[in-house]
Structure 1
Amino acid sequence: MSIRLPALPADPEAPFPSGHLALRQPAGLLAIGGDLSPPRLLNAYRSGIFPWYSDEQPILWWCPDPRAVFRTDGIPLSSRLRRWLRRSDWLVRADTAFAQVIDACAMSPRSGQQGTWITPEMIGAYVDLHRLGHAHSIEVYAAGERLVGGLYGVSVGQMFFGESMFSTESGGSKVALVALARRLRNWGWPLIDAQVENDHLLSLGAELWPRERFLSEVSALVSRPEPAGSWTTRFGALPAAELAPLPGN
């Protein structure tokens, strides 16, 4: 049976179909076509929609139900990780190596997945968003400025939409996530979108929200005024050791 999807118009400012209209199978598929220009991408994220497709496919747009979400005050740390963090010399920064982070995410192997959806076209689009101050990377550095983990995503208003993460050493991606959550919580940002559930995200503390709840929260958060721009100074240099609460807390 063929699938009929709304085709996006040429105008990148044109509204997306409502995320509530996404298909049940393939779960969350909403629309096809368009481009990856900054206006189109920002328009999508404001609506709780994201692109996800492979090289041989046209651009596909998604709004899954349920939605994987991290609360910035709700990422658990095991006792083992807390002990390890207190001894760690890792340092976390933001927007100091965006291209390196997105390239590492593209090359990172995924369980049950051949190749990558982070195509050269996608990389170019998010690098453009980064230059405009809307896409950000979180980098985890070991001694000698060695990049051992990180993640990248898109910010609109007071909502962060996570795209991908990677580790070259155990714990690198989780440290990036926990550091991001710490900073966002301090800024008053309550949520991190994690898009589609998988076992790894759930093991890190992701929650599954009904699409209706997620879209309602996003609509409010993206409307809060936040300036675009680099996060390097705002985020600062965060020692991983400071991410572990003191014993008894």
Structure 2
Amino acid sequence: MSHPGPVEPPPTPWDLPSREQVAAFDGDDDLVAVGADLAPGTVLAAYRRGLFPMPEPARFRLPGRAAPPTIGWWSPARRGVLRLDGLHVSRSLRRSVRDFEIRVDTAFDEVVAGCADPRRPGGWIDDGIRAAYAELHRLGWAHSVEAWQDGRLAGGLYGVAIGGLFAGESMFHRVRDASKVALVGLVELLSDAHAAQRLIDVQWSTPHLASLGVEELPRRAYVDRLPALFTVPTPEGLLRSDG
């Protein structure tokens, strides 16, 4: 029997920018606000407004400050998104898919740890982020899509699912193509009767992601799509079993 859905946490006490304020945010700066906390209600409220958390940029930190960095709330001026019917699967990737087994939510903490590996360039996932998404996972909002090979976790991705929106946070691989295969698995997981109404948010596009079909939406266009996305039911594959 399926769980009826994720558990709604207590609402945030913080006065986050409204969806309308985020949509109207002008200029090319992707950082919209700083502060607040990473409680589940705060993080979910941010996603529902078109924001996501990452530590503040180094340029905002006071010299010599020992305290952890303040949380930054980001909404890219050009948002990277993937429509489910827009995924580009090359012939070589299609062959690679056959070499992996896709699992969902069987190794969430390990996936986040792989994404947070400090040896990776540009790492930003600190202990606070890891704890926050572990709690969102416990409540049924955050999910991992994993590529396994020979009984070992080869790569994967994690993100937050709210209705028809899957907000991807990060991905990693230990075996070539494993993270790409996890993305293919995510698209297949979301490809139900409501597939045309779903959207994968990847935050920022890169040449690599663009080669897979990721497009860019202006901030306002992305934020304006959110209310309709949130009316779409959660995919069955992301609903927990009671047993």
Task: Report the TM-score, using the length of structure 1 for normalisation.
Answer: 0.79
User: Closer, same or farther in 2 for the Cα pair 1:120/1:57, shift >3 Å?
Assistant: same
User: Closer, same or farther in 2 for the Cα pair 1:56/1:72, shift >3 Å?
Assistant: same
Confirm or deny: 8 A CA contact 2:161 2:234 kept in the other structure.
no
Correspondence for 1:247: none
User: Closer, same or farther in 2 for the Cα pair 1:194/1:53, shift >3 Å?
Assistant: same
Q: SS at 2:131's partner residue?
A: helix
Confirm or deny: 8 A CA contact 2:96 2:177 kept in the other structure.
no
Task: Tell whether 2:74 aligns with 1:73.
Answer: no
Q: SS at 1:186's partner residue?
A: coil
CA distance in 1, matches of 2:157, 2:127: 17
Task: Tell whether 2:117 aligns with 1:107.
Answer: yes
The AA in structure 2 aligned to 1:192 is I
Count of matched residue pairs: 218
User: Closer, same or farther in 2 for the Cα pair 1:84/1:118, shift >3 Å?
Assistant: closer
Alignment of 1:134-153 (within 5 A): 134-143=141-150, 145-153=151-159
Q: SS at 1:205's partner residue?
A: coil
CA distance in 1, matches of 2:235, 2:192: 16
Spell out, residue by residue over 1:136-157, the C-alpha distance to the aligned partner (whole angstroms, 9 max, x if none): 00011001x1100100000112
Task: Tell whether 2:226 aligns with 1:218.
Answer: yes
Correspondence for 1:174: 180
Correspondence for 1:52: 54
Correspondence for 2:105: 95
Correspondence for 1:19: 22
Correspondence for 2:125: 118
| Equivalent residue in structure 2 for 1:156, among 159, 162, 166 | 162
Shift of 1:16: 2.4
CA distance in 2, matches of 1:225, 1:176: 22
| Equivalent residue in structure 2 for 1:191, among 186, 199, 203 | 199
Which aligned runs of 4 or more in structure 1 are off by greater than 4 angstroms? 108-111, 227-233
Structure 2: runs of 5 or more not aligned: 1-10, 57-66
Confirm or deny: 8 A CA contact 1:66 1:209 kept in the other structure.
yes
Spell out, residue by residue over 1:159-215, the C-alpha distance to the aligned partner (whole angstroms, 9 max, x if none): 110000001011000000011011102252421000012222222221111122211
Structure 1: runs of 5 or more not aligned: 1-9, 234-249
Shift of 1:65: 1.4
CA distance in 2, matches of 1:63, 1:149: 27
